[in-house]
Amino acid sequence: MRIGIVGCGLNSGYHINFAKDYPGLQIVGVVDKDVQKANQCAAEYGIKKTYPSIKEFVDEQRPDAIHIVTPPQTHYSLAKEALELKCHVLVEKPIALNVQEARELFDLAEAYGVKLCTMHNHFFDPCMAEAHTLIQEGKTGEIINIESYYGLNTRIDAFRKYPAPNVLPWIYSLPGGIFHDFMPHPLYVMLPYLGKLQDIQVMEKSFGELPQNISDELRILIKGHLAFGVLTFSFAAKPHLQFVRIYGTKMAIKVNFDTMTTTCHPVSHLPKAAQKATHNLSESWQLFSNTVSNVWNFGRGKLRPYQGMKVLIHRFYDAINGKGEIPVSKDDVLMVVETMDKIWNQVKNKSLSGFDPIIPEEKAQPKKARPRILVTGATGFLGMRLVELLTQRGYRVRALARKLSNIEKLKKLQAEIFFGDVASVDSLKPAFEGVDMVVHAAADTEGREEDSELSTIQGTKNVIDLCQHYKIKRLVYISSCSVYGVADYKKNQVVTEEFSLERFPEKRGHYSNAKFKAEESITEAIKKGQPITVLRPGTIFGPGGEIFTPMMGFSFGSKVFGIIGMGKFVLPLVYIDNLVEAIITTIEKQESVGKIFNVVDSDNVSKKMYVKLLLKKLYPKSHCIYIPFWFLYLAVFFQELLTSALGRKPFLTRYRLVSSQKNIFYDSSRIINELNWAPLYTTKDALNMVLDYEHSKRTLV
């Protein structure tokens, strides 16, 4: 059998690997309009040919079957093209955007005498297959109710990563919003047992998990002619669980897709008191035996992640070869899509509403109005607090927010909100119009190379260019102490702004490398006469900020903290309000132009003091383990050797470790002496405020 893969995105790897496991099968090409992505996929999986279109692929290779592994918006058109070229087609879920498109595809498949199937993979997971067998054998009795629960983490790339600057992920443009791509999963494990759909009721609610407070929770009650179904779709509840519970007249079954286990409890005729013990013993034994079986099968290669996908794909190939029926029937597919259509008709708050600027009502301004200041990165930890304090002091503030950012707090601050991305010049231009000053606080903090390149490096260049174009009076750039060449310094050295910068920024990680390159662009602009001030803050902390940073060490939840060194290392902390005060000082002082300033609190708080003043008070039952630096250095060295031998990148390098843990002191004398900046709070007072904030959060919960 000869097949092709259309779409080289996230799921294509699973399709390719499972297809390769089928005896006698050849993958004769991959298709993607993104030629670079197609070439990368082909190289990774040893596929010889790539094509930009299905027609070119089919004309040259004459495949028997095609897998459509692309976003749902494209399923109908691509599947239609493949069917008309007389190829058997397996389409990722959902098969189409609505039931009309789905029916048209099945009509085409019948007309051309080819097979069409979609990816209802969890129905074929071993745990669900076991439950299905029990139902088919009648051991559950009559099915009364099925509860299908589907929880999903929104902190993944599918929801958060912009495919290009200022471009939303495709998942937000579906008819069912972000629910659409995932809704087939909890439906197809439930609907086959409910019978013909008679009624459906949907409730929705937002717990603030998603942008613009669109709904993140759905509760769906389905009445079939055979049984009831209750579907919970949750983005907000944690942990994110996926299971189905089946209630019959003779037995109750729970299928846990997270643990790949199936537990069942038939009707017991024991006394109620005895059942309390036997139920727990039976549950424990089933979970134990399921777990042992899963581990054994995994070790033998008989159980793999997405095992149901492999089963479905191989049964689809068997059907093509005349060895069985199509694994997912036409009726089951249409029932899922038709139910989804009915759900979307009832879900009202599922789409983002638009991105026009949000302008609060103007308050009466004094005769001499303060400057209008644009803050980039306004929804970040620093940016949000900066906007808040600037507005409190009477400045007219314009906040730049990306489309998927949470802007609810900004709305309460009487600031203008403009949507845009620093990496997209066109999206930035409206935000710069009518602005007097800019504070550029936007930067990628995840440490990913592509995002660092776009947001931090290119974003800074765009801000510089637009400041020049719009004749902005002042640009305050928020850099970082990570640009310093710490590895070259002596222990306990006092570091001023004149000290040498990092010679090997690429060795410090993507974040530090990007900040270094961004500051290079800034200093070049200063040399050309642009009115720019640079601030190099230390580690920013404050209420709502990170409690235990990588500079401190490693944590295992809030129970165990592994602290690098013996606790004498002095942390380069700066309290967020002290940093904001420094920013406002540079805005208000003309003499700051063209200069660079370190901004670090001068209290010299060591790791051991930080643990005592904050960590142990916040987590009194936690265990803090001090790891000798030499021990970790040695461990990192062996890790580098191992990853090098395996051809992989190391998790941590000795260079980064030394650069982050060398005990030095950042000197803020320049900003104190030249601009009369003074920290508003001591570090001890600031840590107490953080402590109070964390305790208040727990009280509210």
How, if at all, do strands 372-376 and 242-248 pair? unpaired
**Do 346 and 183 form a contact (C-beta atoms < 8 A)?**
no
Quote the strand ranges of 175-216, DSSP E.
Answer: 197-205
Instruction: Report whether 571 contacts 563 (CB < 8 A).
Output: no
Which distant-in-sequence residues (6+ apart) come within 8 Å of 195 by Cβ?
Answer: 224, 225, 226, 227
H/E run at residue 45: helix 35-45
Which two three-digit tokens encode residue 157?
């790339």
For range 174-179, the mean pLDDT: 95
| Other beta carbons within 10 Å of 593 | 16
3-state secondary structure of 203: strand
Whether 471 and 483 have beta carbons less than 8 Å apart is answered as no
Tell me the pLDDT band of 492, cut-offs 50, 70 and 90: very high
pLDDT exceeds cutoff 60 at 354: yes
Identify whether residues 58 and 89 lie together within a single domain.
Answer: yes
Beta bridge partners of 262: 255
Integer Rg of the chain from CA? 30
Burial class (CB in 10 A: 0-12, 13-18, 19+), 296: exposed
Residue with tokens 């009502």: 361
Residue with tokens 């495709």: 170
Whether residue 593 is contained in a domain is answered as no
Instruction: Say what angle helices 99-112 and 75-84 make with each other, to 10 degrees.
Output: 10
Residue 441 belongs to some domain of the structure: no
- Check whether residue 241 and residue 195 sit in a common domain: yes
Pair (99, 211) in one structural domain: no
Q: Give the end-to-end CA distance of the chain in Å, rounded to a whole number.
A: 58
Cβ neighbors of 417 (< 8 A, separation 6 or more) are 357, 358, 378, 398, 399, 401, 407, 410, 411
Distances (CA, A) of 318 to 324, 437, 608: 6, 67, 64
Helix axes 459-469, 510-527, angle to 10 degrees: 20
Neighbours of 258 (CB within 10 A): 12
Same domain, 76 and 190: no
Same domain, residue pair 107 and 193? no
| pLDDT above 50 (res 231) | yes
Distance between CA 677 and CA 583 in Å, rounded?
10
Contact 221/228 with Cβ under 8 angstroms? Answer: yes
Q: Are residues 109 and 164 in the same domain?
A: no
pLDDT on residue 367: 47
Residue 651: how many other CB atoms lie within 10 Å: 10
Task: CATH number of the domain at 338, please.
Answer: 3.30.360.10
Query: Residue 81 belongs to a domain with what CATH number?
Result: 3.40.50.720
Q: How far apart are CA 530 and CA 373, in angstroms?
A: 17
Q: Token digits for 73? A: 């918006």
88 and 6 within one domain: yes
Q: Which amino acid is present at 578?
A: N
In tens, the pLDDT along 250-299 reads: 999 999 999 999 999 999 888 888 888 888 999 999 999 999 999 999 99
Residue count (the chain) = 701
For residue 6, pLDDT beyond 80: yes
> If we measure between CA atoms, which residue out of 172, 273, 256, 265 comes closest to residue 215?
172
Over residues 638-666, the mean pLDDT reads 94
Q: Taking residues 140-146, what's their average pLDDT?
A: 97
Please indicate, yes or no, whether residues 96 and 202 belong to a single structural domain of this protein. Answer: no
Q: What are phi and psi of 533, to 5 degrees?
A: -120, 140
Q: Answer whether residue 632 is part of any domain.
A: no
The answer to whether residue 325 scores a pLDDT higher than 70 is yes
DSSP 3-state of 105 = helix
- Is position 286 within any domain? yes
Once rounded to an integer, what is the mean pLDDT over residues 115-142? 97
Place of tokens 């007309």: 111
Reading the block at residue 197, the tokens are: 């759909």
| Residue where one domain finishes, among candidates 118, 142, 174 | 118
With cut-offs at 50, 70 and 90, classify the pLDDT of residue 447. confident
Q: Residue range 578-604: average pLDDT?
A: 96
Same domain, 127 and 269: yes
3-state secondary structure of 590: helix
* Cα–Cα distance, 338 to 99 (Å, whole number): 5
Residue pLDDT, tens place only, 529-553: 999 999 999 999 999 999 999 999 9
What's the pLDDT score for residue 151? 97
Domain span at 10: 2-118
CA distance 492 to 479: 23
- Choosing from 67, 102, 118, the residue where a domain stops is 118
Clarify whether residues 205 and 318 are in a common domain.
yes
Instruction: Give 364's pLDDT tier (boundaries 50, 70, 90).
Output: low
Maximum distance among all Cα pairs of the chain, rounded to whole angstroms? 88
- SS3 labels along 649-677: CCCCCHHHHHHHHCCCEECCHHHHHHHCC
Given 296, 317, 346, which residue is the final one in a domain?
346
Percent of the chain with pLDDT over 70: 99
In a domain, 535, yes or no: no
Residues 287 and 223 in one domain: yes
Mean pLDDT of 313-339: 97
One-letter identity of residue 21 = D
- What is the spatial distance between Cα 478 and Cα 519, in angstroms, rounded to a whole number? 9
Give me the number of domains the chain comprises.
2
Q: Is residue 590 part of a domain?
A: no
The verdict on residue 437 lying in a domain is no
Q: Please, what is the average pLDDT of the chain?
A: 94
pLDDT reading at 366 higher than 90 = no
For residue 700, pLDDT over 60 is answered with: no
Q: For 442, which DSSP code? A: -
Say if 600 falls within a structural domain: no
Same domain, 21 and 94: yes
C-alpha–C-alpha distance, residues 485 and 161, integer Å: 32
Per-residue DSSP letter, 131:
H
Strand partners, 417: 358, 399
For the packed helices 576-588 and 381-392, what is the interaxial angle rounded to 10 degrees?
Answer: 60
